[in-house]
């Protein structure tokens, strides 16, 4: 029984490791054009945005204005400041102010 568990763990390792590592091994052999490289650099940000943004508008239950202003503030701060700490702290502050002073 114990041997089966070790094989199962190794199999799960291989099933997750190979699809993650294979693109890196393949991409080392090719030289990509500048436009493709630029496109590939935007994939992590786009994926992160697709995962976070839908839930960001529902971050404060029952207060869509606070959530929307927090998201808008984060977008503006990230574009103008280009500093993750300022962006996060600022959007939290905007949401806090909205909840305590503007929300009914």
Q: How many domains does the chain have?
A: 1
Residue 16 forms part of a structural domain: no
Asked whether residue 97 is domain-assigned, the answer is: yes
Q: Which domain holds residue 90?
A: 59-104
Judged against a pLDDT cut of 90, whether residue 103 lies above it is answered with no
pLDDT confidence tier of residue 16, bands split at 50, 70 and 90: very high
**Spatial separation of the C-alpha atoms in residues 47 and 78, rounded to whole Å:** 17
Q: Supply the DSSP string of 51-91, one letter for each residue.
A: HHHHHHTTSSTT-HHHHHHHHHHHHHHHHHH--HHHHHHHH
Tell me, yes or no, whether 24 lies in a domain. no
Residue 32 lies in a domain: no
- Mean pLDDT, the chain, rounded, equals 90
Which pTM does this prediction carry? Answer: 0.61
Residue 71 lies in a domain: yes
């Amino acid at each position: 029984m114990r041997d089966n568990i070790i094989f199962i763990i190794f199999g799960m390792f291989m099933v997750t490791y190979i699809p993650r590592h294979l693109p890196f091994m393949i991409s080392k052999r090719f030289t990509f054009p500048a436009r493709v490289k630029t496109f590939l650099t935007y994939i992590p940000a786009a994926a992160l945005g697709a995962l976070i943004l839908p839930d960001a508008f529902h971050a404060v239950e029952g207060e869509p204005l606070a959530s929307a202003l927090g998201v808008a503030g984060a977008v503006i701060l990230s574009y103008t400041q280009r500093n993750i700490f300022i962006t996060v702290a600022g959007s939290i502050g905007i949401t806090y102010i909205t909840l305590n002073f503007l929300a009914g």
